[in-house]
Structure 1
Amino acid sequence: MSQDFVLETQGLTKEFKGFTAVDNVNLQVQRGHIHALIGPNGAGKTTCFNLLTKFLTPTRGTILFNGKDITDTAPNQIARLGMVRSFQISAVFPHLSVLENVRIALQRKLGTSFHFWKSERTLNDLNDRAMELLTSVGLESYANTVTVEMPYGRKRALELATTLALEPELMLLDEPTQGMGHEDVDRVVELIKQVAVGRTILMVEHNLHVVSHLSDRITVLARGAVLAEGDYETVSANPQVREAYMGTAAEEDAA
């Protein structure tokens, strides 16, 4: 594996009782890039993500992170190595404040999440860093807001802050703009650009506007296999890709 690649898969395959959901996928995610994984419904994108973060076990193939074989590594160990996934459905504690959500993520990084006997003063020591993270995603004015009371787009920004609290080298973003209006989408696109500085991002994203504005490289999946790969101009000009994915998306947008 080249040092230029943070993440690489070799022949990654997942079969479910004779159905091949991910079919011999060879993926190379370059350090410092935003790499998008796209494709029509049922293409295998989420299954591929689940394999990378070890929520599923590959039938065959190898996963390398910074040159280390992590194919048989447990999910919690993957996160400790620096590969952290943000989930498709906002994964925050709705009845805690925004600040408390980030503070819990910071405790996880320190390994003190379950130290309930610690004094509140000890936890307050994390507040400065928590506020820095909230400021980085434009949520400093929401610090004391109960999370359930925030708009959906702001909750996704909070999820980015909690992910950043774990100091990931590689962030895996699963449909970061799903269910958002145009204003929230534009805001989250800018946030992803900001948090990508000095990091690598691999994302599953259905919104082609987002993909075109963010991605350095795109891998297109169809029926579990890699259909095409390249920058947006290259991929969007591919007739097979347009037929399998982009034409469908364009028709839906026009409807």
Structure 2
Amino acid sequence: MDAILDIKGLTKSFKGFKAVNGVDLAVERNTIHALIGPNGAGKTTCFNLITKFLDPTSGTITYDGEDITSTGAAEVARKGMVRSFQISATFAHMTVLENVRIALQRPRGDSFSFWRPENALSVLDDQAMGLLRDVGLEGDARRLAVELPYGRKRALELATTLALDPKLLLLDEPTSGMGREDIARTADLIRRAAQSRTVLMVEHNLSVVSDLSDRITVLARGEVLAEGPYAEVSKNPAVVEAYMGSDAHA
């Protein structure tokens, strides 16, 4: 297996409580891998460890063949591991187009050229409009981000994330709070994004997980409970009891 992300023995303790305990996780290049589990399973903590928003208590994280266990979050992002968050993160009082143009600016040293004149950024318009077209927001380019409905804000966030041209895209609850139409549209966007990159996502919607994922890892109480294709893992009695059974009655 050609793993772009290889995690061994990942552990995070908070005052003696192990939120993540000895997790092994390998994400194969150019696949969609889902990380699922009930509330409190440790999924978000894992994401924070992988993207270096938290430092592990023990274990190793290898990304694209490089040990990044001690690497900072900004440097990891520059290497091509880019994360979106469960809560939409956009510049509310900038236009949709401006949001994507800012994301398209490449870092210069340790900072972005954030305050460049309008005419200097206009050269990015074609590329920005292409990304907006990909996520179905071309017609909203001149609207303020704050004016978009929730599902469209999440689409904008995905466009800005893709503007950073990630090798590994980490999505935290990409369909959370969406209606059926927006869920279907977002799932299609993720599928298209994965044609040229690897996706690791935390997702509660099991229909989305089963439809998109090449492989899933189930966490429970901070440990790996099961791993494999959805069709196989979904029949595991321990998984049904710990996650899917309770979710089916929610």
Q: Distance in 1 between matches of 2:142 and 2:19?
A: 43
CA deviation vs aligned residue, 1:205-236 (integer Å, no higher than 9, x gap) = 01101100110000000000000000111110
Q: Name the counterpart of 2:147.
A: 149
- TM-score (normalised: structure 1): 0.95
Closer/same/farther in 2, CA of residues 66 and 177 from structure 1, 3 Å limit: same
Q: Report the residue type matching 1:123 in the other structure.
A: L
Moved over 4 A (4+): 108-112
Q: Among 240, 245, 248, which residue is 1:247 paired with?
A: 245
Q: Name the counterpart of 1:43.
A: 41
Q: Report the residue type matching 1:189 in the other structure.
A: A
Q: Distance in 2 between matches of 1:115 and 1:144?
A: 19
Q: Distance in 2 between matches of 1:129 and 1:32?
A: 23
Q: Name the counterpart of 1:140.
A: 138
Q: Among 12, 15, 21, which residue is 2:13 paired with?
A: 15
Q: Report the residue type matching 2:6 in the other structure.
A: E
Q: Report the residue type matching 1:154 in the other structure.
A: R
**Gap regions ≥5 residues in structure 1:** none
- TM-score (normalised: structure 2): 0.97
How many pairs were matched up? Answer: 249
CA deviation vs aligned residue, 1:95-154 (integer Å, no higher than 9, x gap) = 1100000011012456673453x3322111111111111111111111001111111111
Q: Name the counterpart of 1:31.
A: 29
C-alpha contact 1:109 1:166 (8 A) present in aligned 2: no
Q: Secondary structure at the match of 1:125?
A: helix
Q: Name the counterpart of 2:227.
A: 229
CA deviation vs aligned residue, 1:234-254 (integer Å, no higher than 9, x gap) = 1100000000000001111xx
Q: Name the counterpart of 1:54.
A: 52
C-alpha contact 2:107 2:113 (8 A) present in aligned 1: no
Closer/same/farther in 2, CA of residues 114 and 242 from structure 1, 3 Å limit: same
**Gap regions ≥5 residues in structure 2:** none
Q: Distance in 2 between matches of 1:68 and 1:161?
A: 27
Q: Among 155, 165, 168, which residue is 1:167 paired with?
A: 165
Q: Distance in 2 between matches of 1:108 and 1:144?
A: 22
Q: Distance in 1 between matches of 2:175 and 2:118?
A: 35
Q: Report the residue type matching 1:6 in the other structure.
A: I
- 1:89-100 matched pairs, under 5 angstroms: 89-100=87-98
